[in-house]
A = this chain, B = another copy of it.
Amino acid sequence: MNFSWQNIIDGNGIGITITGMMIVFSGLLFISLFIAVLPRVLKLKDHFTSSPKTTAEVPATVAAPPSEEEIMAVISLVLHLELERSLGEGHKLTISRQKRQGSIWASAGKMRSLSEGGTHA
């Protein structure tokens, strides 16, 4: 390997660099402009085709105030989701993993399926 400025000239390094940076910039600049214009275009379009449908749909989901049981259920659900997430992140809750493994050992006749009992298993 020979270090030399001539290599850069031979390889058209400066030209490619300038061209390259110009194109990268113009590409992302176009995207930037596209994004900036997009909400205005959409608002303009909505102006012409005013549709109250979307707003009407939402209230349907807001129902009666939750009963005590429902609140309890939601708590347990949140706990579950939280647990599931943390299991996915770094397995601090080894207790539940161990349990699952155990239950599979106990089941009969599954040879190569020593999975830990994810939803797939």
Listed in ascending order, the chain A residues whose CB lies under 8 Å from chain B are 61, 69-70, 72-77, 79-81, 83-85, 88-90, 92, 96, 99-100, 103-104, 107, 110, 115, 117-121
Contacts and interface: CB of A to CB of B under 8 A. Distances in A.
B76 A103 contact: no
Residue among A61, A83, A85, A103 facing the most chain B CB atoms (10 A cut-off)? A85
A120 B83 contact: no
Given A88-B119, A119-B118, A72 B76 contact: yes
15 contacts: A61-B92, A73-B75, A75-B76, A77-B79, A80-B80, A81-B100, A84-B117, A84-B119, A85-B104, A88-B121, A89-B103, A89-B104, A89-B107, A90-B107, A118-B120
B96 A117 contact: no
Contact of A96 (B69, B75, B81, B99): B81
A75 B79 contact: no
Contacts of A99: 81
